[in-house]
């Protein structure tokens, strides 16, 4: 099935001079996009918008950071308005308790919140309402929003399925469904819940699926739910992208904390990956003690702490975030210019997702992976599978190379 899906690769040069208005967006949406800092479309936005606006199913393959939230969010809002007008209700009053007509599914609550931050102002510009539905918090406020009536639901599969089973959420009028980071949803074991949720939506509704990789689970979703989709891949924004400099430092285990400290002592935002929650906490505390403000993000933190820690990074109050993989999948901060893998990943897909946190939206980024000598062969194999070329360099605390790497990211941040 997937072999038959030829991706239409979009080069940045293909969209030179194209505006959002040219793509068919109305004045309100164009103004809302400008206020979000989107003056002209990125390649994936220019590629997918005409298909979404015409009602086609879409399979989008682009790295995170290629601008895909706007790529599905803006045309979805515009399409809802067109369908509303076609139904003859355009001038009518919105009913209290109306069922949602669009659904955006995300693997993590952090990602759901970040999607809402982009989609909500676009929706509000034309009088549509969004609400977020995710676990980890009491459901009362979410149920209240549904009772008042919303147009677009943005949420995670677990809580959405809970509310469906309780009869508090009706998806039967959903005519546009978006699956974001579909591969990660499958990795987290959400394939079957996602299938059940999609079957609750309106038959023949439009489906938009975005995924960095097309694994078996994603292939099943494409097979069952997408009808002759338009397939788009952002060319020149693959993982070997020239915007990301990949380095592997071969180190002694005992030197790891001192090397991380030297790399993280810099201007610009740094994201550090740790394998365990305990190591993430320990690193954040150690950096704090060294006068480098840092916070952690992992599954042991409650939702308000996670939101607060992420907000501290976004606002620039701290420049270093130490995260575990599951927590980090929700991080979509455009100006992270250095990623440090304190623990090397076991799978190439994990490497791709981690490195996708930097070099976003065409900006420069650096990915530094720390490994012991005995892991070099495994790391080489992993990079081969990820189709990434990286220099392997021995390093010890105090090396000029570490200072240079820290400054390279800071320079990139300053130039951006």
55-59, 144-148, 241-245, 396-400: which range is least confident on average?
241-245
**pLDDT band at residue 389, thresholds of 50, 70 and 90?**
confident
What is the per-residue pLDDT for 103?
A: 98
Average pLDDT over residues 167-185: 93
What is the per-residue pLDDT for 235?
A: 46
What is the per-residue pLDDT for 91?
A: 44
Beta strands in 5-151 (DSSP E): 8-10, 58-61, 102-105, 130-133
Exposure string over 133-165, b if 16+ CB within 10 A, otherwise e:
bbeeeebeebbebbeeebbbbbbbbebbbebbe
**Share above pLDDT 70 across residues of the chain, in percent, rounded to a whole number:** 87
Are 148 and 96 a contacting pair, CB within 8 Å?
yes
Q: Mapped to the 3 state alphabet, what secondary structure does 110-177 carry?
A: HHHHHHHHHHHHHHHCCCCCEEEECCCCCCHHHHHHHHHCCCEEEECHHHHHHHHHCCCCCCCCCCEE
Domains (range + CATH), the chain = 2-234 (3.40.50.300), 239-415 (3.40.50.300)
Distance CA 15, CA 56 (A): 21
- Report whether pLDDT(236) > 50: no
Q: Between 45 and 321, name the one with better pLDDT.
A: 321
Provide the edge-to-edge strand list for the sheet that holds 391-394.
294-297, 320-323, 269-273, 336-341, 365-371, 244-250, 391-394
End-to-end C-alpha distance for the chain, whole angstroms: 41
Average pLDDT over residues 386-399: 89
**pLDDT band at residue 125, thresholds of 50, 70 and 90?**
very high
130-139, 265-274, 342-351: which range is least confident on average?
342-351
Backbone angles phi, psi at 316, to 5 degrees: 90, 5
């Amino acid at each position: 099935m997937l072999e038959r899906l030829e991706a239409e690769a979009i080069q940045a040069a293909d969209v030179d001079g194209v505006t959002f208005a040219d793509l068919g967006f109305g004045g309100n949406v164009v103004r809302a996009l400008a206020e979000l800092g989107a003056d002209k479309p990125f390649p994936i936005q220019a590629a997918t918008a005409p298909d979404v606006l015409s009602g086609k199913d879409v399979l989008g393959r682009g790295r995170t950071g290629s601008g895909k939230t706007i790529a599905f969010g803006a045309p979805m809002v515009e399409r809802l308005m067109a369908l509303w007008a076609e139904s003859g209700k355009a001038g009518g009053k919105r009913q209290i308790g109306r069922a949602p007509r669009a659904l955006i599914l995300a693997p993590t609550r952090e990602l759901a919140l970040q999607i809402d931050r982009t989609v909500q102002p676009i929706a509000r510009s034309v009088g549509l309402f969004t609400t977020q539905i995710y676990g980890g918090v009491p459901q009362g406020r979410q149920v209240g929003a549904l009772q008042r009536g919303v147009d677009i639901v943005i949420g995670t599969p677990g809580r959405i399925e809970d509310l469906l089973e309780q009869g508090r959420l009706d998806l039967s009028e959903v005519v546009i469904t978006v699956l974001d980071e579909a591969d990660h949803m499958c990795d987290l074991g959400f394939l079957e819940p996602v299938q059940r949720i999609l079957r609750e939506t309106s038959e023949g509704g439009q489906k938009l699926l975005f995924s960095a990789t097309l694994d078996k689970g994603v292939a099943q979703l494409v097979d069952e739910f997408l009808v002759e989709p338009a397939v788009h891949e952002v060319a020149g924004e693959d993982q070997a992208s020239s915007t990301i400099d990949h380095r592997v430092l071969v180190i002694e285990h005992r030197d790891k904390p001192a090397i991380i400290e030297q790399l993280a002592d810099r201007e610009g935002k740094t994201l550090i990956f740790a394998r365990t929650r305990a190591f993430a906490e320990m690193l954040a505390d150690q950096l704090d003690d060294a006068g480098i403000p840092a916070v952690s993000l992992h599954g042991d933190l409650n939702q308000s702490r996670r939101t607060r820690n992420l907000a501290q990074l976004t606002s620039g109050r701290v420049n270093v975030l130490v995260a575990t993989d599951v927590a980090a999948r929700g991080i979509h901060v455009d100006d992270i210019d250095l990623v440090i893998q304190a623990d090397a990943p076991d799978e190439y897909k994990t490497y791709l997702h981690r490195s996708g946190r930097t070099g976003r939206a065409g900006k420069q980024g650096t990915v530094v992976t720390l490994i012991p000598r005995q892991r070099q062969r495994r790391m080489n194999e992993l990079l081969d599978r990820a189709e990434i070329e990286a220099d392997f360099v021995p390093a010890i605390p105090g090396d000029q190379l570490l200072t240079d790497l820290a400054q390279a990211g800071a320079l990139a941040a300053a130039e951006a």
